Amino acid sequence: MTTELTRLVGVRHPLVQTGMGWVAGPRLVSATANAGALGILASATMTVDGLREAIREVKSRTDAPFGVNLRADAADAGDRVRLILDEGVRVASFALAPSPELIAALKEAGVVVIPTVGARRHAEKVAAWGADAVIVQGAEGGGHTGEVATTVLLPQVIDAVDVPVVAAGGFFDGRGLAAALAYGAAGVAMGTRFLLTSDSPVPEAVKARYLAASVRDVTVTRAVDGLPHRMLRSDLVAALERAGRASALVRAVRHAGAFRRLSGLTWHRMVQDGRALRHGRDLTWSQVLLAANTPMLLKASMVDGRTDTGVMAAGQVAGVIEDLPSCKELVERVMTEAVEIIEGLPGRESEARDRATGE
């Protein structure tokens, strides 16, 4: 299936595996790429040296195109951009809007720039700055999310910009891909669905929690970092929501120190990142400090397997996913379903007959 997305990035199928922190490492990204979709390596939880090693490991596992997700507001964003240029990475994705200068530098080097946005105005802004495409995430998506459903947000953005639009938030099968294409999207991006594959590095006990979840077990809370965050309900989430702001701030300071040691960042650089985060999202310093919770709470579950002390970011689709296919099996299934649905739409049968009879 050829779309604007497949032509732009050189993959076989219009599917994107999103850059999930602690999850989208070399193993998952290379499996996705080998399956013919676009895998995105998550770099925010890696040091620069760690990112270099991860990129080279992906390249050792696949010859297919892949991307790297970057934090545009990070103090070392320039170092990471130079790294992906040196390593010949095909795609740069961003969770926050990159500056016009950063977009221009990447495009000049031949890198495809695909920011993720959650509002029409943000899509219009990055498209005007030169972004090659946008991923549009509706409220159904996991992790930090907005309030507008994909079915409302997606057509708004498609009508507003002239670049390819990839739909995210609520997608997990071929029906969703067919629907997104009908809206005018160039493909779909999936996080939770790729997290729940046999190629995902997430511990099996954590995957089991996701598979056992119903749609009602997925919630949105501000208790983790002061921002709307979609995740699985758990005793920890309930405890965080009951906790007072003072205890939350103490915990955030402790987690900030742990993340500093893990990431290799200096306190000075972390303060710089905090200032950028505060400016980019109009946050208070209290909210910025609370944001230190997120990387370590996610690591506790996604790496250490501690569902009791970690949070589990999840799209609403976690409540309807029931198996753990390989990335290859998942991509083949999604594409087969989508093609069958599209070919079975009313009017397609007569088109096929006309082609067969030459009419």
- For the segment 190-206, the average pLDDT, to the nearest whole number, is 98
Inform me whether the pLDDT recorded for 187 exceeds 80.
Answer: yes
The answer to whether residue 115 scores a pLDDT higher than 90 is: yes
15 in a structural domain: yes
Domain count, the chain: 2
Domain region containing 132: 4-201+325-343
Output the pLDDT for position 268.
59
pLDDT at 352 over 50: no
Q: Is 355 contained in some domain?
A: no
pLDDT of res. 322: 97
| pLDDT band of 211, cuts 50, 70, 90 | very high
Is 36 in the same domain as 176? yes
DSSP state string for 238-305? HHHHHS-HHHHHHHHHHHHHHHHHHHT--HHHHHHHHHHHHHHHT--HHHHHHTTHHHHHHHHHHTT-
For residue range 17-69, list pLDDT tens digits in order. Answer: 999 999 999 999 999 999 999 999 999 989 999 999 999 999 999 999 999 99
Residues 189 and 244 in one domain: no
Are 12 and 149 members of one domain? yes
As a whole number, mean pLDDT of residues 188-195 equals: 98
Q: What is the mean pLDDT of residues 84-99?
A: 94
Lowest-confidence segment of 56-70, 194-208, 219-233 by average pLDDT: 219-233
pLDDT at 276 over 80: no
Instruction: Identify the band that residue 75 occupies on the pLDDT scale cut at 50, 70 and 90.
Output: confident
pTM score: 0.89
| Shared-domain flag, residues 310 and 209 | yes
What's the whole-number mean pLDDT along residues 324-335?
98
pLDDT at site 253 = 63
Mean pLDDT of the chain: 89
Higher-pLDDT residue of 194, 247: 194
Which range, 154-163, 230-239, 256-265, is most confident? Answer: 154-163
Residue 266 above 80 pLDDT? no
SS3 for 19-45, per residue?
CCCCCCCHHHHHHHHHCCCEEEEECCC
- Together in a domain, 55 and 187: yes
Structure tokens at 98: 């990159």
H helices of 99-173, in order, are 100-108, 120-128, 150-160
Whether 348 maps to a domain, the answer reads: no
Confidence of residue 104 (pLDDT cuts 50, 70, 90): very high
Strand order in the sheet with 229-232: 143-144, 229-232, 218-221
Is the model more confident about 310 or about 312? 312
Per-residue pLDDT, 351: 58
The answer, yes or no, to whether residue 354 has pLDDT greater than 70, is: no
Q: Does the residue 17 lie in any domain? A: yes
For residues 154 and 282, state if they share a domain. no
Instruction: State which of 159-173, 231-245, 250-264 shows the largest mean pLDDT.
Output: 159-173
| Greatest Cα pair distance in the chain | 75
- Is 192 among the domain residues? yes
In the structure encoding, which two tokens stand for residue 155, read together?
Answer: 């057509």
140: left (phi over 0), alpha (psi -120 to 50) or beta: alpha
- Residues 227 and 128 both lie in one domain: no
Gap between the Cα atoms of 65 and 194, Å rounded:
17
175 and 63 in a common domain: yes
Same domain, yes or no: 9 and 156: yes
- In a domain, residue 227? The reply is yes
Q: According to the model, what pLDDT value does residue 258 have?
A: 57
358 occurs within a structural domain: no
Residue type present at position 122: H
Whether residue 185 is found in the same domain as residue 65: yes
Residues 16 and 164 in one domain: yes
Domain CATH number, residue 334: 3.20.20.70
Q: What is the pLDDT of residue 294?
A: 77
Share of residues in the chain with pLDDT > 90 (%): 71
Q: Which of 91-95, 183-187, 264-268 has the lowest mean pLDDT?
A: 264-268
Residue 108 falls within a domain, yes or no?
Answer: yes
Residues 41 and 185 in one domain: yes
3-state helix, strand and coil shares in percent for the chain, rounded to the nearest 5: 50, 15, 35
pLDDT at residue 356 tops 50: no
Instruction: Give the model's pLDDT for residue 355.
Output: 46
Segment 150-178 mean pLDDT:
98
Specify which of 93-102, 293-302, 312-321 reaches the highest per-range mean pLDDT: 312-321
User: Given this model, what pLDDT does residue 310 score?
Assistant: 85
Determine the straight-line distance between the first and last CA of the chain, rounded to whole angstroms: 25
